[in-house]
Structure 1
């Protein structure tokens, strides 16, 4: 039996492990869309609060939703670029209208998606995760240098602060043990911010101006609007998130020794769909299972859901106190950039690890990886490639994550799911799930 004190400590550890990744999503989106300090504080606070709600939906098992595994849900990183693009092209309302509809879509297809997981073998999921990481690296580098368009972009101060943050994270990973490694990114963010404060480049005004307490407000940024191209984009992102969550579910089921059937997966996808709908209503973002918390479950050996319930409680509490949310908004851009290099680089590494389960003796698999990663990275590096196409088409073609994901799924269907290739694909999936 775990004592209450230990459960609290383990729960807070899960919060610390996912906090940096969770708050970076609203920070990047709000910054790109020009939100003011008050709006940014709300965005971060409600994001953390809704992470708690989303996690509770997965923990609570009933006939309709909840997978019942020790899973922590957070904002989907792959949604960052599409959300920014939709906001810049169509306005804030279109972002949340598309999120709400995509959540409804996830609810409706949950029973069917649980049957088509076989269409997403490691060659697809690994390629998608690799593309996600690679397309986000430029964002990290821009922030490390001070933020795109900054007057002091690439200054020695920005580079020193950004690379100093990255070096601190690396040192924690190298010399730290156990729990400290789990919060290396958070240590880096705090350390970099303290250096900026000592040098007089950190303003505490947003924290002093923030309220001590607030309640979530539906449609805080205005009524949602519904643009079909934005909706289709967000539906595609939700599908990618479902694929990512599927990997988290199977990893946790293996750790806790609980085999998953189609009904379990259906309830898990429905919980995710409900979380996405609530995210749209309360002006946050799509949610997905966080793999870093899977590592904590394995590292600690504690598999009880009580710990995750405690983590969800901490998230709810933190989200109701805007002053805590405001602290995250004052982190200097170069510090965020340095942390993002490590975080997004780890996404790439995770994708490569997943691709390690692929049969590389198959030339078809090599071509799937080559084309999906090539297209995803190419579109990211040369964003004007499709500038002559209509703007609604560019929502799909100018986003490297979406372009790379579609390429991976389509080529896998072409090479591995046609008659004569089906048997080999099923064998690869059985090996993947066994691992």
Structure 2
């Protein structure tokens, strides 16, 4: 019983993040309530499968640490963008292809990670977070196509939800604080029920059980730019996951090797491939569960295994998933401001450690974030360029990411004149030092 309660605690800690991603993406790409119910349930189901792939260990996959996986929020903006420019099939094609690429490079990612230092990953995460904020603000008003866009009821619900999250976060500690967003969503939805703006029709019509089917929402299609976008997102997620792996290895007092890391990366790639096949999402480690583990002191893989089984069971019950679809768009918008704001703050936290190291890093951040945000706001900037060039310049996240990678190579990986002069000066002084040492010895 105690193990079940501990497992349920981990489920609650990650549940808001698990349901928000399909709700946001599904609403943005225009899914019907029935399709949205399926999307939420299959995402919860895949969170459990992805977690099992990671906590189990064999020669091919599984890092063997008590880690919970869920859909990464850094993928939300890119998926919405892909769905708007192409269609839902391109989203799943890019998820499957990027997962396969991660599986293939998992053994060598330790060497590729040098191209993704904090100045690059922090810039990418910041760009993604900033480009998501307009989505949150539109939802706070009720959604772009809503007939009551910006109504008093929508504004009150959205800000009421946000204020609830802030107050819970401020005046609580430990586990309650870790589920503040989930509690805020519940409070906002309860208020919406009393205001008479919640429709339970979808809950009544949803079945108690369903069979998980591949490609239920559509067959995948493969396009270069979406695949490149999701691969960059996946690589950034791997860098973040690496930090989580080492944090867990410290908590569990278990040393991890390069082979362990490769199996961990391979698990995330494999989870994305399976997620794409079943019309779900790419998956990564959830750091909030690491915090909960530190808080409770319980670091057993058995507990996380129970959490995974609970997630799989919930994913097979559409009736429960349908409950989440009744959350009003404005309530979601209030929670999204906090969630996406946390993405930005995570990026800023990563950048704060490197911006003071050199003026070059400050220039990398300035240009990559500026270009990434600029292209997102003005997507027609490169419309006069050849189509081959537009493949890389039509998406702000890709443009900003590539800018950060190229500038990091230019400023931090190629030898500069200052470094060359310093090295030459050291070499010029070396004979003199040797002579001085020789004279002192005599």
Query: TM-score, normalized by length of structure 1?
Result: 0.91
Provide the residue aligned with 1:305 in structure 2: 301
Structure 2 Cα separation of the partners of residues 414 and 289 of structure 1: 31
Provide the residue aligned with 1:246 in structure 2: 242
Partner secondary structure for residue 106 of structure 2: helix
Q: Equivalences for 1:29-428 in 2 at 5 Å?
A: 29-358=25-354, 360-389=356-385, 396-419=392-415
Structure 2 Cα separation of the partners of residues 216 and 350 of structure 1: 34
Residues 226 and 150 from structure 1, CA distance in 2 versus in 1: closer, same or farther, beyond 3 angstroms?
A: same
Residues 156 and 134 from structure 1, CA distance in 2 versus in 1: closer, same or farther, beyond 3 angstroms?
A: same
Partner secondary structure for residue 226 of structure 1: coil
Structure 1 Cα separation of the partners of residues 351 and 298 of structure 2: 28
> Bigger shift: 214-223 or 185-194?
214-223
Shift of 1:388: 4.5
- Per-residue CA deviation, residues 286-323 of structure 1 (Å, 9 max, x unaligned), is 11112222221222222221221111111111101001
CA RMSD of aligned residues (A): 2.0
Partner secondary structure for residue 303 of structure 1: coil
Structure 2 Cα separation of the partners of residues 285 and 396 of structure 1: 23
Structure 2: 5+ residue stretches without partners: 420-442
Check whether the contact 1:165–1:189 (CA below 8 A) recurs between aligned residues.
yes
Residues 110 and 327 from structure 1, CA distance in 2 versus in 1: closer, same or farther, beyond 3 angstroms?
A: same
Partner secondary structure for residue 288 of structure 2: helix
Shift of 1:102: 1.5
Residues 81 and 129 from structure 1, CA distance in 2 versus in 1: closer, same or farther, beyond 3 angstroms?
A: closer
Query: TM-score, normalized by length of structure 2?
Result: 0.89
- Per-residue CA deviation, residues 361-381 of structure 1 (Å, 9 max, x unaligned), is 411111112122222222333
Matched residue count:
418
Check whether the contact 1:129–1:347 (CA below 8 A) recurs between aligned residues.
yes
Check whether the contact 2:116–2:236 (CA below 8 A) recurs between aligned residues.
no
Shift of 1:393: 5.6
Structure 2 Cα separation of the partners of residues 267 and 139 of structure 1: 35
Structure 2 Cα separation of the partners of residues 137 and 154 of structure 1: 16
Larger radius of gyration: 2
Shift of 1:390: 6.4
Check whether the contact 2:77–2:131 (CA below 8 A) recurs between aligned residues.
no
Check whether the contact 2:29–2:80 (CA below 8 A) recurs between aligned residues.
yes
Partner secondary structure for residue 383 of structure 1: coil
Structure 1: 5+ residue stretches without partners: 424-435
Residues 133 and 229 from structure 1, CA distance in 2 versus in 1: closer, same or farther, beyond 3 angstroms?
A: closer
